Amino acid sequence: MKRLLALFLLAGVAFAAGHIGLGDSGTIDNGVSVVMLSTTKDGYDDINKGLAARDKVGLVNLIRTGRAFTVKRGTRAKVIDVTFAMRRVRIMDGEKVNAAGWLPFEYLK
């Protein structure tokens, strides 16, 4: 049993209550009306830097170049990949339906 649990933890499957794991669905909610997702796993660092610097031009350029996109708070999404701190989701409704992007795990409820 311990071996199986360790294997699941290494695979990024979350057992704690409230964590949404691979194959689960949830809603996107970070406390504001619009949520930005990165199209690549490493690209979320650029979003964080832009938000921290309040660099509106830089954030718009991420969207314009296809490296990021936005969805409305409450958008439904399905987890299709996981890392320790991030989730890759497939958007299930709204204007960006079927798009895939990365966001922090805590943005999924």
The per-residue pLDDT for range 13-67, each reduced to its tens digit, is 444 445 788 989 999 999 999 999 999 988 899 999 999 999 999 999 999 999 9
Residue 55 lies in a domain: yes
User: 26 pairs with which residues across the strands?
Assistant: 77
Confidence at residue 14, expressed as pLDDT on a 0 to 100 scale: 42
CA–CA distance, 2 with 53 (Å, rounded to integer): 44
pLDDT at 1 over 80: no
The CB density around residue 74, as the number of other CB atoms within 10 Å, is 13
Tell me the whole-structure pTM to 2 decimals: 0.80
Range of the domain at 59: 20-107
Residue 14 lies in a domain: no
Confidence at residue 35, expressed as pLDDT on a 0 to 100 scale: 94
CA–CA distance, 3 with 5 (Å, rounded to integer): 5
Residue 83 lies in a domain: yes
Count structural domains, the chain: 1
Residue with tokens 């290494």: 10
Amino acid at 86: M
DSSP letter (8 states) at residue 1: -
Residue 76 lies in a domain: yes
